Amino acid sequence: MNNNKSSLGRGLSSLIPNKTILQNIDSVKDTNQTTLSIDLIGANPFQPRSIFDEDDLLNLSNSIKEKGILQPLMVSVDEQKGEYQLIAGERRLRAAKLAGLLEVPVIIKNKISNQEKAELALIENIQRQDLNPIEKAKGFKDLQEKFNFTQEEIAKQLNLSRSSVANILRYLSLPPSVQLALTNGQITEGHAKIIAGIDNPLDQEAVLENIVKNALNVRQTEKVVKKEPNSSLNIISSDIKSLVNNFSQKLNNKVEIRKKGKRYIMTLNFFSEEEIKKFTDSLQ
């Protein structure tokens, strides 16, 4: 068992005395508040966010130009690199650079562990709802792998249920295409939970395709998958149905199409040998 893990509560309480963990980290007051050159601040290696919306940063940058940075960043001293290391406030730091600022207000935290840096970076982003579900899942995974946290401990520190933590971690087992769709907002976490309940990765990808092509909401997706686990794989998109219908009218004959897994099976109905001959002749 990692000895540092038992210090989680104590570490956070020492950083945020007499405050609950869900309070805004930037409201913490510290006697070490000052200003630092932007060039002296290195990145937080435990930053859970990997995507920063450019429009959002530009809006924040314009606000900083007009009003300045209202909430200081949080940094620690990295003695090995001879620089300060960012703990919390990556969006503000990036926006400040866009705004052309040379210095930013900071709170310097001394004797802070890597564990606490990871916790604070994750908590700050969750508080601001800045993390997409995959980033959040990766943040939880980091706490598990780097600091031996259990799902129960993560849930307790972030004021979540253990089942919520478990569901979020399951997103990392989804196929890359599903993770990307969740990251980009093509599907919701409700969709992702349903897809995660399907065993076969190929089936999961097929359900994703069905959701995106047919704009299925969570309830519709749940009904399709619940009715028959593989039925979602066998749904024909409206575009294909339209093509087949046009083909049927052009032939003046009934054409049927069905889907079985990844196979499309199209059936032409003939009522005489003459019709068959006429059709085959038209293909030559």
Active site amino acids: 90
Contact indicator for 60, 165 with CB cutoff of 8 Å = no
Hey, what are 183's tokens?
């990251």
The CB-based long-range contact list for 219-222 (8 Å cut-off, 24+ gap) reads 221/191, 221/194, 222/194
Query: What distance in Å separates the CA atoms of residue 265 and residue 118, rounded to the nearest whole number?
Result: 53
Tokens 């998958």, residue located: 225
Query: What distance in Å separates the CA atoms of residue 210 and residue 82, rounded to the nearest whole number?
Result: 53
- Cα–Cα distance list, 109 to 6, 48, 137, 268 (Å): 20, 20, 27, 74
Phi, psi angle pair for 166, to nearest 5°: -60, -45
3-state secondary structure at position 90: helix
Tokens 């997103």, residue located: 171
Tokens 């976490």, residue located: 189
Phi, psi angle pair for 215, to nearest 5°: 50, 45
Amino acid at 185: G
Residues 6+ apart with CB under 8 A from 229: 198, 203
**Residue 115 neighbours by CB distance under 10 Å:** 20
3-state secondary structure at position 123: helix
Residues 6+ apart with CB under 8 A from 95: 57, 58, 60, 61, 63, 64
